[in-house]
Chains A and B, each alone.
Chain A
Amino acid sequence: MANSVKTPYPQDLVWPAHLRPFDPLDHSIQADPFPYYQWMRENAPVLRTKTSLGEAWFLSRYRDVVGVLRNHKVFSSELYDPKKAPQVLFMDDPDHMRLRAAVAHVFTPKAVARLEEKIRNLAEGYFRPLLSSGVAEFVESFATPLTIDTIASLLGLPLSEADQFRRWSQDWGSYSGRLSGNSPGSPTDESGTMAFVEYMAKALEKVPAEGDSILSSIVRARAEGKMTDQEAKFFSLVLFTAGHETTTILMANGMIQLAEAPHLLSRLRDNPRDVPAFAEELARYKPPIHRLRRITTQEVEVAGHTIPARSHVRLLIVSANHDPEKFPNPEVFDLNRDTGGHLGYGFGIHSCLGAWLARLEARIVFELVAKTVSKIELYPDPSSAVVPFTGGSMSASGPKFLTLRLTPA
């Protein structure tokens, strides 16, 4: 294959004054990667980076990103030996499909719709104190407990250990990020993950095989020989963490959006039927996961660049969602937009299993907000400024803490 285009490294390029040469491990870039991705999409749609973790190829245009996600045989998800920590996001078919098929029935639109009343009751219960106090931190006091309670009850786990679950989830994010060569990890990542795995092992021993929770489905699949013991433990853990971290960030991003564009809140109040369109445009505009990872199984050409076999490829789904070739006027948050094909929930065989659950949770929360709140403001006190999420697997982007002033309707 002829290497027709020489792929630049960040230091080969002249970056505009407001940006530094792109560094994928830089926490300040992770806090707000949008301007970097826009510039890369326009000026270096295929970019190589070299860090202490090795080399990676970053793709930022919609058509290149979707092309990779379609081609899952050449762009493998198996970034590390699955025996080490079998995790469905980092497995190829048929193993990925085998695990996913065991629980897919729990996540269909029809199945998650049965949870609506339960989630709404939880949401109202957590939101009431925020509304009455007027000034409140949204992530830890609302979005995290709501999403943890929801996924814990779906899995069949007790709700009493939410704080512990949250810490372990962060450890797991760092651990899997480190194993897959995406982040340097953290001092507690392995010990926290192993404690979490042991917790799940015990939970799997306790749940009844005939129950309708996710863990019961996993116990049945294990008994039928469709899943090993190790896979069952890690799959339970992965479903749990995937079920709350990203949805939490999505909700928090939505509150920022409503604070910055008050006309959207009025529109949702007057037209509650627009809430699903709001949630979908939010997942396009500011998805909680901003990059996905793959590894090439053979040499392959992307947009005229030759990527060698065994190369780590990073897919900038945020950037793809802002590619004007796919979404005209991408920087406009537009409730009337056709969001079809956006990558906020991924694309292809690994696309988000819990997407319908996330959509349901987002709809319930923003319906509640539109009905009960007339004004949302970012709290102006600098000591309560928005704290961005950093570290972890380096793939999530959004607020870690978000203090808001809420005016009841």
Chain B
Amino acid sequence: MKVQISDREGRHHSVVWEQGQSLMEVLRDCDMVLALCGGNCICGTCHVYVDAETFARLPARNDEELAQLEQMKGFRPEASRLSCQIPFLHAREGMSVVLAPNE
């Protein structure tokens, strides 16, 4: 499965998402996010914006994810997700992901 990533410099990458990985793990393996808390929904370093179609298909953000995102300057209610909270189950061929700015 391949997903389209735009990095913080605006460059585009087509990246393989393997079964069993969260989206954060995909991005961490490409050295694109730090994922400092290891996927505990706390640090906000794996913050991404997903395309509208993907956003609509994903399960809603839980309280912990939303609380973390709302603290972030780059929060966009209609697109922001913590990539550690997106398992392979929700991967979709060609979906597009934009890395949020580092904070």
Contact = CB atoms under 8 A, between A and B. Distances in A.
Interface residues of B, number: 13
Contacts of B37: 347-349, 351
A110 B34 contact: no
B9 interface: no
Interface in A80-114: 97, 100-101, 104-105, 108-110
| Overall SS of chain A's interface | helix
Interface stretch (B38-46, B53-61, B74-82, B90-98): B38-46
A97 B36 contact: yes
A407 to B, nearest CB: 37
B2 interface: no
Interface size class of A (residues with CB under 8 A): 10 to 19
A97 B102 CA distance: 11
B29 A108 contact: yes
A70 interface: yes
A92 to B, nearest CB: 13
Contacts, number: 39
Given A108-B28, A108-B31, A110-B29, A355 B36 contact: no
A108 B45 CA distance: 14
Contacts of B45: 97
Contacts of A347: 37, 40
Interface in B17-38: 25, 28-29, 31, 34, 36-38
Contact of A348 (B29, B31, B34, B42): B42
A349 B68 CA distance: 12
B40 A348 contact: yes
B36 A109 contact: no
Contact of A349 (B28, B29, B31, B43): B43
A356 to B, nearest CB: 9
A105 B31 contact: yes
A147 B42 CA distance: 30
A6 B31 CA distance: 49
A105 B33 CA distance: 9
A104 B29 contact: no
Contacts of B34: 100-101, 104-105
Given A70-B42, A349-B42, A349-B43, A100 B28 contact: no
Nearest to A97: B36
Contacts of B64: 70
Contacts of A109: 25, 28-29
Contacts of B40: 70, 347-348, 351
A109 B24 CA distance: 12
A351 B29 contact: no
Contacts of A108: 28-29, 31
12 contacts: A70-B40, A70-B64, A97-B43, A104-B34, A109-B29, A345-B38, A347-B37, A347-B40, A349-B36, A349-B37, A351-B37, A351-B38
Interface of A: 70, 72, 97, 100-101, 104-105, 108-110, 345, 347-349, 351, 355
Interface pairs A-B: 6 shortest CB-CB: A104-B34, A110-B29, A348-B42, A349-B43, A351-B38, A349-B37
